[in-house]
Every structure is written in structure tokens, then in C-alpha cells.
Amino acid sequence: MLNLNRAQILGNLTRDPEMRFTPNGQAVSSFSVATNRRWNNRETGEQQEQVEFHNIVVWGKQAEAVTPMLKKGGPVFVEGRLQTRSWEGQDGVKRYRTEIVADSVIVLSSRGGGGPMAEVPENPVEDVADGGKDVKKESKPADKPKADAAKKDEVEEIDIEDIPF
């Protein structure tokens, strides 16, 4: 039997992310995303809304890369897997927390709010697997003609409310 544990959400950050480091130095960032569900009440015809809050955890280099770009209120798309943790509180009661452990985080607006996508750093560093070894590879910006720069300014912004899901 096949199993599938995937979660995809598109919503707004409810708080700025908190980045911490584990004792062995690995970065971990956590934040919360709100999603809305709207419908019309069949009896009254009145529009109603329900908000869900999702706890997100991002690990490693991705946490270090996206944390500075995420801002409270900003739109974000997150894809990952659901995971539930449990622990015993100081009062002796067992507590549970379900989180989305992110595989992919897409910031839908730049930090300044000027564009539809987050700006990519000039020389991002990517991890490339090479025969089981991690090799650092630096990507260099391509030389683009001025015509491409003019097209960049003509990009139409997407309103989150227009997305049908």
C-alpha cells in the first residue's frame, strides 16, 4: 500500500519567523501561516469565514535563506509534510503539536512589497549532491540585455484573492 503525507498551503504569515540553531549548529526557523476559507451561509446568504493557523518548521540552509525574506502579514506558499510532536509539560500533562515540516517555501512578495516574487540574492549558494558529497556551487547572474530589464518592470502582480483555491 502506498502512503502520502503532503501539505500545501497558501496564506499570510501571522508573525515574523524565529530562527534558532540546534546544539550541532543546524538552523531551524519556525513561523505560523493563516489560511482563510470563505463560503455563503445557505440559510441567510451571508458570507462567512473561517481562519486556520498552521505551524511551519524549516530546517538547514533553506531556513537561513527564507527567514530574512519573510515578514509578518506577507503572503507565502509552503509545501511539506505533516508531523506531530509530543512532550510532557511542566505540569505533567502530555501535549501535542502538529506542524508542517517544509520542503519548499516560496515568498510571494519581496520584503519591501514591491514585486510579486521574492528577490533572489545576486550570488546564491546551492548545495549540489555529487556522488554522496556535498559540493558548494555558486551561481552567477547571467548578462541580460536591457530589453529583459524593461520586461521585468511590466510583470503583472497577482492578487492572492484571485487564486481559486
Residue 160 in any domain: the answer is no
Report the first-to-last Cα separation within the chain, whole angstroms. 29
Q: How confident is the model at residue 133 (pLDDT cuts 50, 70, 90)?
A: very low
122-128 CB contacts, 8 Å cutoff, 24+ apart: 124/65, 125/61, 127/61
- Answer yes or no: are the C-beta atoms of 30 and 17 closer than 8 Å: yes
What cell was used for 123?
A: 550570488
Residue 71 in any domain: the answer is yes
Residue 69 in any domain: the answer is yes
At residue 32's C-alpha, the angle toward residues 26 and 36, to 5°, is 150
Q: How confident is the model at residue 160 (pLDDT cuts 50, 70, 90)?
A: low
Number of independent structural domains in the chain? 1
* CATH (domain of 84): 2.40.50.140
Residue 54 has pLDDT above 60, yes or no: yes
What percentage of the chain has pLDDT greater than the value 90? 59
Residue 103 in any domain: the answer is yes
Report field, pTM of the whole predicted structure over 0.85: no
Residue 85 in any domain: the answer is yes
- The dihedrals phi and psi of 14, each to the nearest 5 degrees, come to -90, -15
pLDDT at 131: 39
Residue 15 in any domain: the answer is yes
pLDDT at 162: 58
State which residues form the domain around 89. Answer: 7-40+49-155
Query: What letters, b where the CB count within 10 A reaches 16 and e where it falls short, cover 64-73?
Result: bbbbebbbee
Residue 1 in any domain: the answer is no
Which has more pLDDT, 41 or 135?
41
Which has more pLDDT, 45 or 119?
45
Residue 161 in any domain: the answer is no
- Bridge partners of residue 133, in order along the sequence: 130
What cell was used for 89?
A: 509539560
Q: How confident is the model at residue 109 (pLDDT cuts 50, 70, 90)?
A: confident
